[in-house]
Amino acid sequence: MVFRNRGRWWNGKKHTMRACQDSTHSESRQLSPPPPNHVTSRAAPIWICSLLSGIQVTFLARHGTGHTISPSAVPTQANIAALKSLGVRAIVAFSTVGSLREEISPGSFALPTQIIDRTKGIRPASFFEGTSIVAHASFGDPCSRKLVSWLEGRVRKALDQEGRGVKLFTDKCIVCMEGPQFSTRAESIMYRQWGGDLINMSVLPEAKLAREAELSYVLIATATDYDAWRLHSDTVTAAEVFETLKANADTSRLVAATVLDELHAAVSASGEIFLLEQVGSMSFSIMPRSEKQDPEHRKKLAYVLPEYFSGEQLN
């Protein structure tokens, strides 16, 4: 969901649209912005509605309307580029995940702060690919700490308010696998040995592209299964994931509603500082200018990073 206040936006999850229905005006519209020239796919539809507080809330379904796009085919470049072009500053992504730890039982929520990349290079992971401009974004802390810290209290409040005993786990490491098949038992056990706590197919390249676009990023994860590492249990199936997801839908909506309710007050009290953690970070990542920069490449990158690539190249 994307929240807009004073021209800033924040992105997250499609199914949580129901969480804000009681707090919104009837106005709603759908956008699907065209991608920049170097992005071949189009962004998923972007829905925008207005809260009574005046904040606009936008939802983007990464897998498309009706969940029709496989994880490896999600148009993440186009999605992130579209959000940046609309003025997005911070992304809150929701995802179901497998649990690699006994204590993180199905139904639990988690805010991971580290990522292990097990994708296979199929998904475009940089806006700079195929250009004459090289950049090395800092990615030591892939999830934005200030936003994670702000969300932790709100998610915990929602779970306590519901009273079902749903737990929130923080500072966890998530493994992003290619999919679409689930893990083998050997892989699942290996990920545990590596220090992984959760596993999904969505957090990358979202987090990497968000970092390049100078957008804060955080993932709110809902555990639906134990993957395949428990040798005495059956391995995960899509049916199991869906059943847990349905059972937890009300909790997810409550979490989203709590975040929506408190966003306006937080921004009013402290400004947008906790949403703008990554602004300016790419100034330390783009390699020094050279005469070999193609003007067309600069024009394409200006769609995502106008702060650095708009106008003529400076010598």
Give the CA count within 13 Å in the CB-facing half-sphere of 163. 1
Burial of 91 (0-12, 13-18, 19+ CB in 10 A): buried
Q: How many residues does the chain have?
A: 315
Going by C-beta distance under 8 Å and a sequence separation of 6 or more, which residues neighbour residue 206? 62, 76, 79, 80, 91, 93, 217
Q: Tell me: is residue 25 an annotated ligand-binding position.
A: no
What are the CA-CA distances from residue 238 to residues 14, 40, 71, 174, 252 (Å)? Answer: 20, 30, 14, 19, 19
Which H or E run contains 4? strand 2-4
Residue pair 50/23 in contact by the 8 Å Cβ criterion: no
State the catalytic residue, choosing from 22, 160, 171, 227. Answer: 227
C-alpha span between 70 and 52 (Å, rounded): 35
Has 225 been labeled as part of a binding site?
A: yes
The question of whether 294 is a catalytic residue gets the answer no
Contacts of 161 (CB under 8 A, 6+ apart): 254, 258
Pairing of β 216-225 and β 109-118: antiparallel
Asked if 46 contacts 31 with a C-beta cutoff of 8 angstroms, the reply is yes
Would the annotation count 15 as a binding residue? no
160 is catalytic: no
Considering the candidates 117, 225, 234, 250, report the single residue annotated as catalytic: 225
Report the C-alpha gap between 293 and 135 in whole angstroms.
12
Residues 139, 208: Cα–Cα separation, whole Å: 7
Annotated binding site for phosphate: 62-63, 202
Residues serving a catalytic function are 225, 227
Annotated binding site for substrate: 201, 225-227
Annotated binding site: 62-63, 201-202, 225-227
